[in-house]
Amino acid sequence: MPAVTLPDGSQRRFDRPVTVDEVAGDIGAGLRKAALAGRVNGKLVDTSFVIEGDANVAIVTDKDPAGLEIIRHSTAHLLAQAVKQLFPEAQVTIGPVIEDGFFYDFAFKRPFTTEDLAAIEARMTELAKADAKVTRRVMGRDEAVAFFESLGEHYKAQIIASIPAGEQISLYGQGDWVDLCRGPHVPSTGKLKAFKLTKVAGAYWRGDSRNEMLQRIYGTAWPDKKQLEEYLHRLEEAEKRDHRRMGRELDFFHLQEEAPGAVFWHPKGWSVFQALIGYMRERQRAAGYEEVSAPELMDISLWQESGHREKFGENMFLTETPDHRIYAIKPMNCPGHVQIFKHGLRSYRELPVRLAEFGKVHRYEPSGALHGLMRVRAFTQDDGHAFVTEDQITEESVAITRLILDIYRDFGFEDVRIKFADRPPKRVGSDEVWDRAEEALKVACGAAGIDYTLNPGEGAFYGPKLEFVLRDAIGRDWQCGTLQVDFNMPGRLGAYYIDEHSQKRVPVMLHRAMFGSLERFFAILLEHHAGRLPAWLAPVQAVVMSITDRQDEYVRSITESLKNQGVRVVSDLRNEKVGFKIREHTLQRVPYLLVAGDKEVAAHLLSVRTRSGKDLGTMTPEAFFERLRIELSSRGRRTLED
């Protein structure tokens, strides 16, 4: 008689082996209808799974993150079934779940078209409405290879042949369709109610460019139509906000094949980039950091000692000199800062020693992974390192955490999640040292009063870290800043200080970045604000426009006066209608549009509009400057529109 223990601690007893589906039905008809899978003793299983002994059981519905993943996995199979019905010559390969959706790779004689996608999606809808039962069966490896070979599915046969002999292979079927899969899957295709195919792309078989090119169909799936529509709206909004498109339209930057993964900054984009650096320089100086600069090219031996060569060797750019010395272009700033700390004798009285650098680093990223400013090979980090005693970890970590959160608020990010990433499988240092480092960071989190979720195994190779995740205006999450507690690298590189007993002690190194990559943060900002950067960041904060050439001299004098007061302002004296000028500068996201006609000139006034179309009325140039000065000094937390 199996005893089933539910998540609330209650128990239900059965007089025979029972399926997950029957357990759900015993709890309630509504739960049975909503059940997608089960979790038996912590393992995800199908609702048809038979429980033969005592077990802890939870029913998985679409409210559970695992339920959403099962929906997406099952929809990938629905896609493959539809493709095979419409295009029998196509061969199926793999179809995993990815963030927000799924894909399936196919080998087919011609490219799939937009019309093909529409037909496939329509067939998927028919198959879902048919509500075919999804069944599972098990075969031996060799039997499964022969089975798929008999179907002409040579790619599936290859996948199975690579599995060790003797292992059991699970197959899932729905109607006339059978596929290889570990599962679990939804009980029937009728559970798949909201999906959309999004695009087709090329993909190499098994991700190897030496293999044949396949076609990858992407899709998304959600528990209901409302969530699907919300996601498609986010996609549409994300397309409008794409920083690569805005970079072109606003003349901020460009990328080209001759420098893959490196940015060509144009004057306006570079103005914003420098404003970011200027802001961070000011905040770091106030927080007690001293700015430094370490060489971009250093001998490979330094990177071997630090552990970076072993961990990041494949991503490092190396060069060999005529005398056969190997140098690395730095992928990180940390070892350089340790060298600066080591230069000269350090006393415990000096600690914390806080060093910061806007360091250019280079990391090799595969060409297929490059994505605008989000994923590049050459980028600038706002890297900082605090060298502290073990007793200073908590206080310094609290200060860093509060600084990071305050900085994000200045840029309009109020919703920030924090993740605690602990020791990765590949790391340096003993478990005892890692225990101390992780405990120190947890104590600091408690002292700072912050909540966090766990990100297991994702710490740096030298220490645990906090990851600061920003949620943007359309609900996307971006991991930016980090705080890492490092008991390992200073000792590996020979750093020490003299304690109060005149003994050598190895400092603890707190690694922190707030923007992370400035290029990536720039892109996130552009997309978060849809190009409408706060006035204090905007490359052009105001434009002064004439209506006719009679106002030209007045416009020039106002422009010059505002420039002399530090405003980034331009004049527009073109022989165009003022409505045309306003539209053009609005599209360029200029925060403030100042218009001067004959009446304004006579009264020494300006007509002030915002890029959002709000008419702020007329005011003197002095009044406009004073209100703008207040806005700029408050870092955009207040605006003239408020």
CB 434 within 8 A of CB 427: yes
| Closest by CA position to 205, among listed 259, 162, 258, 146 | 162
Give Cα separations from 170 to 102, 140, 165, 173 (angstroms): 20, 9, 14, 10
Band the pLDDT of 638: cuts 50, 70, 90.
very low
CB 80 within 8 A of CB 95: yes
DSSP 260: T
Distance CA(416)–CA(408), nearest Å, equals 8
Q: Which helix (H) or strand (E) holds 83?
A: helix 65-86
DSSP 142: H
Q: Is the pTM of this model over 0.75?
A: yes
**How much of the chain exceeds pLDDT 70, in percent?**
99
pLDDT of residue 312: 79
Q: Which CATH number fits the domain 66-230, given the four candidates 3.20.20.70, 3.30.980.10, 3.30.930.10, 1.10.760.10?
A: 3.30.980.10
> What mean pLDDT is predicted for residues 97-104?
92
| Closest by CA position to 295, among listed 318, 327, 269, 270 | 327
Exposure string over 393-414, b if 16+ CB within 10 A, otherwise e: bbebbbbbbebbbebbebbbbe
Distance CA(462)–CA(334), nearest Å, equals 11
pLDDT of residue 368: 78
Place of tokens 């690579």: 162
Instruction: Establish whether domains 66-230 and 542-633 are of one fold.
Output: no
Cross-strand pairs, 101 = 98
Tokens of 454: 């766990």
**How much of the chain exceeds pLDDT 90, in percent?**
73
DSSP string, 510-542: EEEEEEEEHHHHHHHHHHHTTT---TTT-S--E
CB 186 within 8 A of CB 36: yes
pLDDT of residue 153: 87
How large is the angle between the packed helices 154-161 and 141-150, nearest 10 degrees? 170
pLDDT of residue 537: 93
> What mean pLDDT is predicted for residues 586-604?
95
Question: pLDDT (tens digit, 9 = 90+) per residue, 547-592?
Answer: 999 999 999 999 999 999 999 999 999 999 999 999 999 999 999 9
Tokens of 548: 């006719």
Distance CA(205)–CA(224), nearest Å, equals 33
CB 330 within 8 A of CB 336: yes
CB 421 within 8 A of CB 458: yes
pLDDT exceeds 80 at position 282: yes
Distance CA(616)–CA(456), nearest Å, equals 52
Band the pLDDT of 642: cuts 50, 70, 90.
very low
| Closest by CA position to 607, among listed 618, 597, 598 | 618
DSSP string, 548-588: SGGGHHHHHHHHHHHHHTT--EEEE--SS-HHHHHHHHHHT
Distance CA(334)–CA(208), nearest Å, equals 34
> What mean pLDDT is predicted for residues 265-284?
95
pLDDT of residue 99: 86
> What mean pLDDT is predicted for residues 97-113?
91
pLDDT of residue 568: 95
Question: pLDDT (tens digit, 9 = 90+) per residue, 286-298?
Answer: 999 999 999 999 9
Average pLDDT score over the chain? 91
CB 144 within 8 A of CB 249: no
Widest distance between CA atoms in the chain: 97
Question: pLDDT (tens digit, 9 = 90+) per residue, 19-37?
Answer: 999 999 999 999 999 999 9
The CATH number of domain 542-633 is 3.30.70.380: no
Cross-strand pairs, 572 = 545
pLDDT of residue 95: 87
Distance CA(532)–CA(243), nearest Å, equals 12
**How does strand 353-362 pair with strand 290-291?**
parallel
DSSP string, 468-506: EEEE-TTS-EEEEEEEEEESSHHHHTT--EE-TTS-EEP
pLDDT of residue 309: 87
Distance CA(396)–CA(507), nearest Å, equals 13
> What mean pLDDT is predicted for residues 338-345?
93
**Domain spans of the chain?**
3-61, 66-230, 291-517, 542-633
Give Cα separations from 530 to 239, 466, 523, 524, 584 (angstroms): 10, 28, 10, 10, 16
Active site residues: 334, 363, 381, 383, 385, 465, 511
Distance CA(582)–CA(578), nearest Å, equals 6
User: Which CATH architecture is the domain 291-517 placed in?
Assistant: 2-Layer Sandwich (3.30)
Task: Count the residues in the chain.
Answer: 642
Give Cα separations from 596 to 492, 551, 560, 575 (angstroms): 65, 7, 15, 14
Question: pLDDT (tens digit, 9 = 90+) per residue, 72-90?
Answer: 999 999 999 999 999 999 9
Band the pLDDT of 636: cuts 50, 70, 90.
low
Report residue 233 CA to chain centroid gap.
Answer: 19
Place of tokens 């600066």: 340
Q: Which residue has the higher pLDDT, 368 or 544?
A: 544
Q: Which helix (H) or strand (E) holds 65?
A: helix 65-86
Question: pLDDT (tens digit, 9 = 90+) per residue, 136-187?
Answer: 998 888 888 888 888 888 888 888 888 888 788 899 999 888 988 888 999 9
pLDDT of residue 461: 87
For domain 3-61, give the CATH number: 3.10.20.30
Question: pLDDT (tens digit, 9 = 90+) per residue, 471-509?
Answer: 998 888 999 999 999 999 999 999 999 999 999 999 999
Distance CA(298)–CA(294), nearest Å, equals 9
Distance CA(496)–CA(493), nearest Å, equals 9
CB 86 within 8 A of CB 119: yes
